[in-house]
Structure 1
Amino acid sequence: MDDDQPAAGLLRRLRREADLSQRELAQATGLTQARIARVETGRSDLGVGALVRIAAVAGARVALLHADGSELPPMTGDAATDRAGRRFPAHLDLRHGDEDWWADEVRYTRRRPEFTFDRDRSVRDRGRATRGTASDHPVPYAGDSLAERAVERRRAAFRAAAAERERRLAEGWRPRPLPELLCTCPPACDVLLAAGERWAHVEECPCRCDVG
């Protein structure tokens, strides 16, 4: 294969694998026979889309490889997008908007985004040194919104508090007993309470126990 014209050798290899003439390959891929001829003689290059179609006809597929020979997959098409439905720049690292959201003079005048990122490369590099570099942008899933994440954090906090209480009880800790509440409200206060008058007491009530 001519290193200066790799497309020419690749196209000839694929056409040989498919056992097709230039005209037959053109008909199978929607290209023109003239374009195929120009590529094979090194007078033109071959676009990625055309190469993918030709490879499929030959029973092959186009792939990129790392230096160690492992395949480099494309980024997912289901990754998170901004509010306008646009994909985020591929080189940036995304995180949820409730994770260390950037702060500046407009932070509190804008609605917190579902996903955010660091524009400053030095900040990005420090984050990668700590968290590593993700292979792709995150894909949103059910229960992944900021509101649902906030609910889950509260639930996790309640579960942790309950587990801590159980642990302390198992170690012999006993909660301090609550003081005895002596209520001397007359029945008339209960009537007001039943009528929806919260913390209501009749004038002659000597107790007024829930009025701070």
Structure 2
Amino acid sequence: MKDHHQGEGDTGHPNIVPPLPTLPRVTVDTIPGVVRRVRRCADMSQRELAKDTGVAASTIARIEAGTLVPSFRVLMKLLAPARFALALVDEDGRIMQPMRVWDETLDGGNKKFPAHLDVILDPEDPDDWWGSCFGLARPPETYHRSRGYRDAKRALSQWEVRVKQFRNARRPRDPGPPPHAGR
């Protein structure tokens, strides 16, 4: 009899992970099966799962019947008895880590910088950040929405400012004026 923790294609060896041809996607339609899989792996009835998680047995029954979509918190509670966890993976199966927030990534108003923009942290060496000597703000290219334009301006700015570091490097192409947003 096959262990219910192993799926098709398992190698049986703990150090060998078989390749995933396609990653299973959890959707609203598959959540009932996920909850049933939790109960199967945890070897619990609906009542036992309800008692262990603090979620009403009728709620678990409705989720398994597909008539109720659980909130994220309820789903996390239901995954716990089987020691399952949700993971965010890209299309190649690599696990994506959440973005971290630390003091250096907050602006002067204690707000986070926009998640879609790259944040340049000041280097440890104060001589390496040219703006601090003159009381200058961060370079404006940091805030352009076009990633290609922003990266080109940043490369040019680094080349111009850190002359001793890029002394032997070729001058990057000037991207010209910023692209129009067309709004």
TM-score by length of 1: 0.46
Q: How many positions carry a matched residue from both structures?
A: 125
* Partner SS for 1:57: helix
Counterpart residue number, 1:148: none
- Does the 8 A contact of 2:141 with 2:153 survive in 1? no
Distance of 2:92 and 2:152 partners within structure 1: 23
Distance of 2:130 and 2:50 partners within structure 1: 54
Counterpart residue number, 1:91: 116
Q: Does the alignment pair 1:53 with 2:88?
A: no
Out of 141, 145, 148, which is 1:125 matched to?
148
- Give the 5 Å matches for 1:72-111: 72-78=96-102, 80-96=105-121
Structure 1 60/77 Cα, relative in aligned 2: closer, same or farther at 3 Å? farther
Counterpart residue number, 1:21: 45
* Partner SS for 2:77: helix
- Does the 8 A contact of 1:93 with 1:117 survive in 2? no
Quick one: percent identity of the two aligned structures? Answer: 34
Structure 1 3/52 Cα, relative in aligned 2: closer, same or farther at 3 Å? closer
- Give the 5 Å matches for 1:136-175: none
- Does the 8 A contact of 2:28 with 2:69 survive in 1? no
- Does the 8 A contact of 1:8 with 1:41 survive in 2? yes
- Does the 8 A contact of 1:94 with 1:117 survive in 2? no
Distance of 1:47 and 1:38 partners within structure 2: 13
Shift of 1:77: 4.1
TM-score by length of 2: 0.52
Distance of 1:129 and 1:18 partners within structure 2: 53
- Does the 8 A contact of 2:63 with 2:70 survive in 1? yes
Q: CA RMSD in A?
A: 3.9
**Structure 2: which 5+ runs fail to align?**
1-23, 123-127, 156-163, 166-183
Q: Which has the larger radius of gyration?
A: 1
**Structure 1: which 5+ runs fail to align?**
102-109, 133-156, 161-212
Q: Does the alignment pair 1:67 with 2:91?
A: yes
- Corresponding letter in the other structure for 1:31: V
